[in-house]
Homo-oligomer: A and B are copies of this chain.
Amino acid sequence: MSQTVTDLEVHDIRFPTSEQLDGSDAMNPDPDYSAAYVVLRTGHAGSGAEGHGFCFTIGRGNEVMAAAIEALRPYVVGRPAPRTAADLGELYRELTHDSQLRWLGPEKGVMHMAVGAVVNAAWDLAAAGAGKPVWQFLAGMTPEELVSLVDFRYLSDALTPEDALAILRAAEPGRAERTELLLAQGYPAYTTSPGWLGYEDDKLVRLSKEAVADGFGQIKLKVGADLGDDVRRMSLAREAVGPDIRIAVDANQRWDVADAVEWMNALAPFDPHWIEEPTSPDDVLGHAAVRAGQPVKVATGEHVANRVVFKQLLQAGAVDFVQIDAARVAGVNENLAILLLAAKYGVPVCPHAGGVGLCELVQHLSMFDYVAVSGTWEDRVIEYVDHLHEHFATPTVIENGRYMAPLAPGFSARMLPESMAEHRYPEGPVWQARRTTEENAR
């Protein structure tokens, strides 16, 4: 019997992470990691099924994201609860193609991220209903079902449905074997925890060594504020981890093209694995120029607005690594398009994660990619940041530098009710206490 979506709840949840300078980088000095959080319900609270999703923000403006999710209520409440690929494709297309809401993007920024939150909540609902984690729910679909999830509009000069079908069919025979390998070994991770820009040198060195001891083969440093500082920090990190550990660097969009070229030529002697977000995420041609102008590989994607920009990054040969984000584009469906584009162009996908809940979500997409799309984890790593996992019911499990495959049904990103209550903005006790402290300090 078909269930109906009876409610869409929106919650403004914020963590005061700026107090510790966790997450500080050249463009984001004081983020308060936040989630505009959505719960879809079937039946009454406590009795029916639930689907959870969210947009990730870094504080101010989280209420604007919440308003955007709220604007999607009429498209979701009252419809049959999505269960199949056909249902999930239809919901995604309806939300992205509403002509009036589309004007607010199109397919970018606040409104698009809100669609992503709702689409991901629908995937949580559907996968949980099927009793499977999202990666396995996806990997259990036929190539034809998977292709039906994708919106090929604006992609056909780079990827057709036939191309997608061929990629997915080629990966079909090895699905079972790779699923077993994944369950046994987990998926490779790297860690950004040592390298936040606000950390002192000795903390950077200590955390870099700890990361290697914990089994990570790759770490990442934030760069881009001051070249002298970056040369010193990169040199310290390289000394700390030795020549065999990969060190990626991340400029968080700080530079123009010429700055990026100059800076990376200066850092190149320390063998950086990639330079991430050297410039504007909208600048396809700029990324291509950065890639051509210096020897370090180029990565980007966490702020790339949609599949059309990813398509061009690949067409222009502008990136060596595609960094999908689970909550920036329109959810699982659009990320599937991006995984297929990357597979078509033979470019490895190394997801962005961190923030709050992004690791929990995006692991499913890389694992699905391994099992059913690219069929490989070579040159691929999922970012890992060790913040805020304790707020989730089924947090990521990292063992020896690898993400262990989640086994719980759904999308692994259901926040604990007590964490939500504590961090509700502006009325939750964490924020009330902070206001009291600030008032007393005046």
Binding site for B on A (CB under 8 A): 27-32, 57-61, 63-65, 67-68, 71, 98-113, 153-157, 253, 256-258, 279-286, 289, 303, 305-306, 308-309, 311-312, 315-316
Q: Is the CB of A109 within 8 A of B104?
A: yes
Docked pose: A30 CA to B101 CA in angstroms: 12
Q: Is the CB of B256 within 8 A of A154?
A: yes
Known contacts A68-B64, A110-B64: A58-B283 contact under CB 8 Å? no
Q: Is the CB of A31 within 8 A of B104?
A: no
The chain B residue sitting closest to A28, CB to CB, is B99
Known contacts A106-B303, A308-B282: A101-B157 contact under CB 8 Å? no
Docked pose: A308 CA to B284 CA in angstroms: 10
Q: Is the CB of B29 within 8 A of A99?
A: yes
The 18 sampled A-B contact pairs (Cβ below 8 Å) are A60-B71, A61-B71, A61-B103, A64-B104, A64-B111, A67-B67, A109-B111, A110-B110, A153-B280, A154-B282, A156-B256, A156-B257, A157-B256, A157-B258, A283-B308, A283-B311, A284-B284, A286-B312
Given contacts A154-B256, A157-B286, 10 further A-B contacts (CB under 8 A): A28-B99, A57-B103, A57-B104, A58-B99, A61-B71, A104-B113, A109-B305, A110-B110, A282-B309, A285-B316
Q: Is the CB of A101 within 8 A of B280?
A: no
Docked pose: A387 CA to B157 CA in angstroms: 37
What 6 pairs across the A-B complex have the smallest Cβ distances? A109-B109, A110-B110, A60-B100, A67-B67, A59-B100, A157-B257
Known contacts A282-B309, A306-B282, A312-B283: A61-B104 contact under CB 8 Å? yes
Q: Is the CB of B256 within 8 A of A282?
A: no
The chain B residue sitting closest to A316, CB to CB, is B285
- Measured CB to CB, the closest approach of chain B to A37, in angstroms, equals 16
Q: Is the CB of A279 within 8 A of B67?
A: no
Query: Residues of B contacting A100 with CB < 8 Å?
Result: 28, 30-32, 57-61
